[in-house]
Every structure is written in C-alpha cells, then in structure tokens.
Structure 1
C-alpha cells in the first residue's frame, strides 16, 4: 500500500454523485486527485470541500481541443498521472424507445460515454506507455453486456466502452499498465435525474420500481480494491449488483 500513497489520479465526471464518491475514496486511500468535470461551479465547490489533495479542471470531454490540452493543465505537483478513472457519462433523453427518441439525444450519449472516454484516454495514455506504468479504470455498466429495452443508445455506448477496454487491455498486454472495467448495476446517482432533465417525480418513480440500489460508495470501494492489488494482478472486469438483482 505504501507505493499507492504517492500516486496521482484523474477522475472525469468528478462533480457528480459517482465521481464524488470515487474521489473521496481515492483521497482517503492517500492518493491525490485531479477533478475533471464540465460543471465548473460544482467542481470548484467540491474541490474546496476536499482540500489540497485535489485540483479542479473544468473539462468538457466532448470538446477535442480541451481534452488535448488536459495534460498541460495538470500541475507538476499532481504528476505523473498513474491512475485514470473514466467516470463521466450520461443518459439524457434515455429510457425512450429508439424510434421515439431524438437523434441529438442518442448522439450526445455516444459522444460523451464512448468517444469522450476514448479522447481522455488517448490524451493521458502516451505518458503511461512512456513510463511503462499506470492503471486505467473505465466505468461501464451492466448495459454493456445485457439487453435492456428503451436504452439502445446508452447500451450501445457502454458496449463500446466494454470492447474498447478489452481491446486496450490486449494492446497493452506487454506493458505494466493495468486496464479495468467496472460494470455497475442500478446505482443511486444523479444520472437518473439528468436522464429526465431534472424531473424529480420521474426520478422517484424510477427508483421506486426496485427494492434496492447500490450506493456510489459501493462502486468507489470496488475501484480502490482493484487499484490496491499487487502490480502483477489485474482486475480485468467487475460486475457489481444489488443483492436483489441477477
């Protein structure tokens, strides 16, 4: 564990519920965290709460120019980046039959969940390869491997993350870089609220369908478990479900 204490991480979507839980778990484990999120106000507020062990960078992962500049925006005191947690994602306009949904909604989901994730990875991976060190954790979903009606775009994006992660792991197999995919089941984050564009009644009705859901801290704890394995151990894939789901 002593080795892990000196490591620096980048977390995308850091101002959201899942990102905050992941950040807190990383900081508690002794790591320093670069917080990346497009919501600048929430990001700065959260960074203020977390203190000197974090550094905020307002970032829209769908903006190629901003993502390309990301390595240059990270202060030297938070380098080198050993851990990348690709957490940013959304399902705005989701839970709608594909033919009834807006094409711009579907495109936005893919642009953020898959292409944005790939862009961030591409911006930080070359330095990991140069140093032959690092750990990439991609937050996918059970939707990556299970068919759920009315979630075509979201599921396609997460299936893309799944295959991207698998392929990246294969490409990096001769290096010391580890690549992990997390596949959470139903989790109480604000992704449901944003899916319904702030409609709290719809959010409540959605969660009320289920007996229980995971907490963001459950996913964060699982990520730290994967990070804390010995260097020769790679947690390739982890599916995390509430006990009443299968």
Structure 2
C-alpha cells in the first residue's frame, strides 16, 4: 500500500462471490477501504457488516447502464475518490456447451456482463483517475483469454475482449500515472461453476472432479495485492496464475 495520509479506496465489483470475498478480505486486511459492489443485496450487505467500517456495500448490477454511470456519485464521504478499481464481476451462466447448442440469450448475457459491464464501470471511474493523475485499474481476465477451451466460446470471447481492452487502455494511458493490470487465473474453486449450471451441484462436483488441480480464491487475491503494493513507478501489466498439476 502506498504512503498516503488516507487509506486507499478500492471499488471491487462482484464482491459477494467467492473470488470477490477473498479479494475484499485481503484488501481490508492490508489497510485499504473497499466499496463492495454486487447485485446480490443481502450477500453484499452481510459482507460489508462482517468486514467493518473499512467496507461499504454498493448494490449494483453492472449491466444497468444508468446505475453504473451514477455509482461513483452514490458513494458516501470517505469512500471516494476511487484510487483502485478491481473489475471482478462476471459469470458463465448457461455455459460449457457447444456454441450452436447453447442459448443466444445466455451468450449475450455473458458478453454483456463480462465485457460490456466491465467497460462501463471503468468508464465511470477512469476520468477522475486521469484528472488526478493517479489510480490503478485491475481487470480480472482468465486463462481462457489466451487458450482455446472447447464449449466455452462466449465466456472465452468475453475474456479475450477484456484482455484486448486492458492492453489498449494501458497504451492510451501510457503518458499518465494510472496503472493497468490484467489478472489471468486458471481454474479456481469459486461459485462461478455452480452458477454456470444454475445451482446443479452434481454437475458442479463432476466438473471439478475431472481436473486434478484448482486454485483457491485466496491465491488469486494474493496476486492482486502483489500488483497493488508495487511502488508507483512499477506497473504489473499482467499476472497469469495457475495451479500445479500434483494437487
């Protein structure tokens, strides 16, 4: 964490999910203040209450354009301006199907959340960072952005879009002090798989059992903290984090 008079303020989307919760816990433990953004109101408010006065809940669906555009102005005093944005929200609901067999609505919703929602939140936050010549954008991508995984075309396309978006804005912001980081995790034990199968726990169990290894959300959270904790002149452009095969 940088040496500033006030704690850094982080806006974290998808905060109430498994990955988001691990990231939020790590951020608060590091002394930062966190705006916990999630569309699941009860879950995000419970998380904020558990994390204490360094966290505040923001009920936000990142596919709601008007709500996203107004989200920064809705924040209480002490939780703005935003120093760091972590774009973590995303899903694969209806996924893991051959493209022609899946639902066009499911495919559209995946892209709208994982890519368009991420871009919209970034647009809401970034101008203030540029004006202050200070800030950090962390985009959660995936190993799917760089490796072909059959039956995951929409999800992989959304994450490949996140990768190109991240690289492009990093180039656009090269003459500013705003840092931009992409995180590409491999398979991680989070609720995204259960939600993909709309709560079918048997399918979820079978999915994980076919692999010998998986990351825990805390593993990814540590990588994010590593990027955030670098000196201001150091930009971690991307981090790929994979589990070892032996576990």
TM-score, normalisation: structure 2: 0.97
The structural deviation recorded for 1:152 is 0.3
> Do the aligned partners of 2:85 and 2:137 also contact (CA within 8 Å) in 1?
yes
- Once the two structures are superposed, residues 101-146 of structure 1 have per-residue CA deviations (whole angstroms, 9 ceiling, x without a partner) of 0000000000000000000000000000000000000000000011
Q: When the two structures are aligned, how many residues end up with a matched partner?
A: 245
Output the CA distance in 1 between the equivalents of 2:140 and 2:198.
22
Q: Can you give the 5+ residue segments of structure 2 that lack an aligned partner in the other structure?
A: none
- Aligned residue for 1:81, secondary structure, equals coil
- Report the equivalent of 2:3: 3
Aligned counterparts, 1:159-198, within 5 A: 159-198=160-199
Q: Can you give the 5+ residue segments of structure 1 that lack an aligned partner in the other structure?
A: none
Output the CA distance in 1 between the equivalents of 2:9 and 2:60.
18
- Report the equivalent of 2:32: 31
- Report the equivalent of 1:48: 49
Output the CA distance in 1 between the equivalents of 2:34 and 2:145.
27
- Aligned residue for 1:3, secondary structure, equals coil
- Report the equivalent of 1:224: 225
Output the CA distance in 2 between the equivalents of 1:6 and 1:61.
25
- Aligned residue for 2:83, secondary structure, equals strand
RMSD: 1.0
Ranges of 4+ aligned residues in structure 1 off by more than 2 Å: none
The structural deviation recorded for 1:2 is 5.1
- Report the equivalent of 1:82: 83
- Aligned residue for 2:169, secondary structure, equals helix
The structural deviation recorded for 1:36 is 0.3
Aligned counterparts, 1:52-201, within 5 A: 52-201=53-202
- Aligned residue for 1:104, secondary structure, equals helix
Output the CA distance in 1 between the equivalents of 2:168 and 2:60.
26
- Aligned residue for 2:105, secondary structure, equals helix
The structural deviation recorded for 1:74 is 1.1
Output the CA distance in 2 between the equivalents of 1:42 and 1:87.
16
> Do the aligned partners of 2:2 and 2:231 also contact (CA within 8 Å) in 1?
no
The structural deviation recorded for 1:53 is 0.6
Q: Residues 98, 75 of structure 1: CA spacing in aligned structure 2 closer, same or farther, 3 A cutoff?
A: same
